[in-house]
Amino acid sequence: MNEEFYISVIGEIFDGYTETYFGGQPVYLKHVSIRDQRYIHKYYDRYKNLALSKGLETEEDRLAYIIKEEIWSDKDDAQIEMLRLQIERLKVTISQLPLPSQRQEMAQDVKDLENERLDLLMKRRELMGKTAEDYATSRSGDELLRFLLFEDSDLKEHVFTEEEFGDLETWEIAEINKIQGDLSERLEDGLIQKAILRPFFSMYLSLCENAGDFYGKPITELTVHQLRVVLYGRMFFNVFQHTDDIPDNIKEDPDKLLAFAEAQRNQKSGKSKSGLKDDADASMVFGATKEDVKSLGGQQGNLRLAEEAEKHGGQLNMEQMMRLAGHDV
């Protein structure tokens, strides 16, 4: 991604909409705000009640049925919950690990558990069949698409009325869904964080303390993406203010930057996982690869460690690490 892409992303967030095309004509897709979410919840309740009146059962009733029929069990549900808790605990552990290589290895464990949980959820969904909640989610999602699509950049005139939207062909609904999907991908959290760390945004970082003042609007009128910009801006400004000797090569990488800051906080608070004494070189971390060293620091000790790791195939064992740290072994 080049600088222009990230500038464009932030510009769209500032505007509160994304300009795109539908049917060969320019349209404007509004970014969701808290008030918009309230509007959609109203439609969700309406369609759920409609589904119930037509005879569709709730998820609770369908779940009770498939358990009664012994094609699903409470044990299966317990497994789903257990996997959720394991994933949450692993994510906390990952945030505290000092080395990128360790985080990457454990991140794969998280991904495997998430896939296992997703498989169970999909199996349960197939067994339950269509529920009132499914219908309400689908129909309110369609209404969200209609509600957010405007024909002017002032976001005053909707492209479709409710009646017109109801008459659209299936392929037209799919195209609008793709527009929304593309927007979600373009403005996902990781890309917003990378945009905030680009040089052009540096002048804004210190101004992110107050969301209302930053945009000159009440917080209730801000979009979700606008709130995320100031939230991440404040977070990274705090990192730069309270983290020493940040290597240049990670200043624009949100994951590595946050990991470096976390590792330094752990070190200062006595939570370092290096296993070495306090008087040892604090940059020494057992099991660190040369890539870890490059990510975690550029101080003299780290440079020396990187050189030694290079000599030993990219990784040092405990004995080698302790010798470099000044311990006799």
Q: What is the rounded average pLDDT for all residues in the chain?
A: 83
Single out the residue of 164, 122, 119, 128 nearest to residue 146, CA to CA.
164
pLDDT number for residue 86? 94
pLDDT number for residue 115? 96
pLDDT at 1 > cutoff 80: no
Residue 289 φ then ψ, to 5°: -85, 170
- Residue boundaries of the structural domains of the chain: 21-175, 252-329
Band of pLDDT at residue 139, cut at 50, 70 and 90: confident
pLDDT at 39 > cutoff 90: no
149-195 pLDDT, tens digit per residue, is: 999 999 999 999 988 988 888 888 888 889 888 999 999 999 999 99
Structure tokens at 295: 């990510």
Instruction: Report d(CA 103, CA 54) in Å as an integer.
Output: 50
pLDDT number for residue 174? 87
* pTM confidence score: 0.71
